[in-house]
Amino acid sequence: MTSSPFRCINQQLFARVAAEARQHPRLRLNHNFHQEQDPVQRFLNVLQPGTYVRPHRHRRNGSGTGFECFLVLQGAIGLLLFNGEGDIQQQLHLSAAGPTHGIEVEEDQFHTLVALEADSVIFELKQGPYQPAQDKNFLNHFPLEGTPEAALQEAQWRDLLSKSSVP
């Protein structure tokens, strides 16, 4: 059997990865289209309400290579941008229904994602290759993933974004 020259990004794929994400302890799951060594990372990130993404930034060697691009394909995501002290500088509502579907976050910008709807699917694009030890710099002001404090923080952010979001 020969492999296909393309991979479909369709509702069937969304449903399969979303079902897996609901069962995953982190309540989110990536579906990679790239290999770790590829120069460009491209993947679906499926997030469920309750998932905690610790605020972080991306830094890479070479100017402009630490960007991260998000495009919401299903559901809605809140994006929070922070300064180095952990203060929220901006909040954005990204939704498959619009009016803002996606955003590119510049290098060195602390940010987090908050799932505002079940089975939210985003397409992410960022510079590769993937290097786990160097992929993220975490903002120290926030709890570690998997702690009760992290769950409380995520709930507070979701409440803030849900009240202030305009789909």
The span from the CA of 72 to the CA of 137, in Å, is: 24
The pLDDT assigned to 167 comes to 47
Write out pLDDT tens, residues 89-147: 999 999 999 999 999 999 889 999 999 999 999 999 998 887 766 678 899 989 999 99
Domain ranges of the chain: 11-164
Cα–Cα distance measured from residue 144 to residue 147, given in angstroms and rounded to the nearest whole number:
6
Instruction: Give me the pLDDT at residue 134, please.
Output: 67
Handedness of CA 6, 11, 12, 14 (dihedral sign): positive
The pLDDT tens digits for 17-36 are: 999 999 999 999 999 999 98
Query: Can you give the pLDDT at residue 165?
Result: 57
CATH 2.60.120.10 fits 11-164, yes or no: yes
pTM: 0.91
Mean of the per-residue pLDDT values for the chain?
A: 91
Q: What is the pLDDT of residues 64-88, one digit of tens each?
A: 677 899 999 999 999 999 999 999 9
